[in-house]
Structure 1
Amino acid sequence: AVEPPKALNDNSDDTASVKPLTNDTTETSQTDQGKTNDDGKTPIPVNPIEPVDPDKPVNPITPVNPDNPDNPVNPVDPVNPVQPEQNTAPVLNVPEDQTVSLSHNGTFDVLNGVTASDKEDGDLTKAIKVTGNVDLSKEGTYTLTYSVTDSAGQTTSAKRVITVANDLPVISADDQTIEVGTSFDPVVNVTASDVQDGDLTKDIKVTGNVDTTKLGTSQLTYSVSDHDGGQTTKTINITVYAKDASFSGLDALTVQQGSTPDLRKGVSVSDPYSATPSDFTVTACDTKTPGQKSVTYSYIDKWGHVTTQDRVINVIAEK
């Protein structure tokens, strides 16, 4: 005879009860805690499975170094992406500050010598912009601002100072020596010129006086102004001199020791300013001792100019 199978929950003849499988993952209730299995052992509660939080990032798994399991392999740093090449600013070449001459008819080219270039755009000279202007007809300091912009919008600028200056007139006059009694024109051989106004000789003014009847040195000051107010002055010396008179008959003379020779005998003087020259003087000669002596002849003309000349006197001993 075949015994019918026991019910699934019939554990009357079993030593241990079988708990049916369920999907319940909750913790054992307090009423169930403390119960024992049929063998008297305290049951171990099953920890429930924590649900996965979709917003919480999962910790990455550190790779294992196969050569050294105790040291994990560091993750490889990502390669930096290639940065696009940066645009360079234009290069602006501007001449240095400059001083130019004032000019009533001239013009100043503010772009002369100014260039611009760019690594990406090439020559940008034609794109240069200038702020400011230079008035050559008026003295002063003028500031010019140059700027240039490339196709990427980068701008380079530079400043330059232009000074407009009035050139002062130039006076040409030198020291002079003139003979006494002659006529003298203070502006003869004196000239003046100016860069802006040209010849200004006719505008020269002279201060000072030269008396050609007196020997000596006098000063004359010349001044001239241009049409823009620039003035120049120059001072020169004018020296009035007289020609020397000339003596004749002053050959060497031999006299006896102790004698009193006539040193004026045979001597005459010629004055370039007088047909009848005045008398001349002569120093004394010591004839007490033999030897070569010297005497001096002097003449003063009507201008007060003194002419002197020496004469040799040979004193010989008595026989």
Structure 2
Amino acid sequence: MKNKIIILAIVLFLIILSFLIIDENEIVFECAENIQYQFEYQSDFIEPDIKAFCQKKTFRFIRIELEIEKSGEVDTSVLGKYSIVYKAKKDDQENEIALEFSVVDTTAPIITLVETEDYFTEYGSEYIEQGYSCFDNYDGEITDKVIREVKDDKVIYTVTDSNGNTATKEREIKYIDTTPPTISFDAPFTAIEVGGDYYVGFSAYDIKDGDLTKNVIITGEVDVMKVGIYTLSYVVSDNSGNVTSVERNVYVYKKQADVEHLNPTGKIVYLTFDDGPSRHTSRLLDILDKYNVKVTFFVIGKNNAYFDYVGKAYRKGHSIGNHTYSHNYSKIYSSVSAFYTDLNYNGELIFQQTGQYTKLIRFPGGTSNTVSKKYCKGIMSALANSVISNGYKYYDWNVSSGDGGNGNTNSVYNNVIKGIKKYNVSIVLQHDSKGYSVDAVERIILWGLSNGYTFLPLDLSSPTCAHRPNN
């Protein structure tokens, strides 16, 4: 019995041994399940966990681990696809496995905003950029690629790098309201004839709070039965505490009587207008009609497109003076005879409009001009004496509006009022060829009427105002 067992064991061993001898070897690779096949740009490459074994095909548990040879590298500083071959050998057998890896850029750029704690934007104003920068791990500095969009109360910054990665950042705009409300009036001034009703149309608006007209507080009183200049005060505040206060003059005037019925009190104003008529003269005549004020026009005939206004002005009771036809210094001041030729031609044109030869003269540039020296020495002294001998009377001025240069309506008004206050009798120089000067006339008249001045046109009996010739 014992011998039979031994024989059976030997037979079994021989059978197994024969199977082992017959069973072939194979080389296999085992890879870990957590192999990383994709790597971010500039990241560390992690070697995969790979093992190689030589084992029997049938009895796979009979195996030995082999050394692995690797060929190929992954460079994470360069985007692209990479292949690494892993090879193992055992005697005359070998096997290999190729793994595919990729280096990619999926990292969005970083937008950095410059932020100052006490930086505010005035409400209603455009946000002024504080600054920002943008850096991408692959492209580097790409600030110039950032797109800004101001939307509602935010600034949205968006950028996309060369690999299609997009970053967005928002900045909340911090607003502050230091802008006071505005008070606007319906008209540039308010004028009321004595005994009339008055209404001052106005509105108040705030850039943040909107219409604040109902919040305006008005102080001051106007006596519509008494000529004078009255001041009303308008005050309004917004919800941020900004306050606006403006004053409004209300002129209470009495329309001037006809010239023949006037009894001047000693404060007299002669408004004179040179270099017309022009496209502004019609408007000026309407203003003068409104207050029954008569003035003097020193006209030049070369303005033939508007010269019919000379006749209209004359028929309305205004005085017409001769300011030469051409107003050309080099021509009229070349000689005494040249001056009279130009003057007389203009006089004929005036006669055609008025039926009268005017004896009122104003020299172009005034009697004291120095420009005439370039054309004829001593001519102004000669002309000043000559015109008187020929029955003319020339008028200069003692109040200049300053409208000969680049002025504005307010400066004209202020210059005239300042000058009038200095004299009992004022001869004011303006130009109805200047629209902004004409725009100042109504306020000048209202100021004068409200302060007891009488406006008159010049005639041969009017007080003389003559500059001393400088040539």
Q: Greater helix percent: which structure?
A: 2
TM-score range, shorter chain: 0.3 to 0.5
User: TM-score if structure 1 supplies the norm length?
Assistant: 0.38
